[in-house]
Amino acid sequence: MKELELGITGTSELTVSDKNLAVNVGSGGLEVFSTPDMITLMEKAACSCISEYLENDETSVGTEINVKHISATPNKMKVCAEAELTEVNGRELVFSVKAYDEARDIGEGIHKRFIVYGEKFISKANSKLKLK
């Protein structure tokens, strides 16, 4: 892995569609942008923040997320998430994340990811199949 610098940022965006609505993802009964999709957008922003620093078989996995969803977003509105790398603890990375729509901030929090080697990680995960 190339050396990471605190303060690097990444973004991700989408326009809310029917598939992103709480009523359709099972996270509520209203036709507004779902919290799980907001979290996914925040994770994508964190991944984009570090993507150019990863080498060979390196990737990252989400290990913790603590966010507030503070404002509802209607269907068809654009949403953007931003992530900023705030801490590096060995292979653990800590990001400040936020999301906003075309009108205001809609979410904020902290997200942690861990650098892993893809092939080794998948092999370990698949070893659980032998335990069944």
CB-CB contact of 16 with 79 (8 Å): yes
Q: What is the pLDDT of the chain when averaged over all its residues?
A: 97
Query: Are β-strands 58-69 and 9-15 bridged in parallel, bridged antiparallel, or unpaired?
Result: unpaired
The string of pLDDT tens digits covering residues 11-29 is 999 999 999 999 999 999 9
What DSSP string runs through 1-69?
-PPP-TT-EEEEEEE--GGGBHHHHTS-SSSBB-HHHHHHHHHHHHHHHHGGG--TTEEEEEEEEEEEE
CA proximity to 97, closest of 35, 36, 46, 33: 46
Measured CA distances, 126 to 24, 90, 115, 117, 123 (Å): 30, 25, 18, 14, 5
The string of pLDDT tens digits covering residues 53-90 is 999 999 999 999 999 999 999 999 999 999 999 999 99
- For 41, counting Cβ atoms within 10 Å of its Cβ (0-12 exposed, 13-18 middle, 19+ buried), the class is buried
CB-CB contact of 94 with 85 (8 Å): yes
Domain boundary assignment for the chain: 9-131
Its CATH architecture, for the domain 9-131, is Roll (3.10)
* pLDDT beyond 90 at 131: no
Query: Six-digit token pair at 92?
Result: 């653990």
What global pTM score does this model have?
0.95
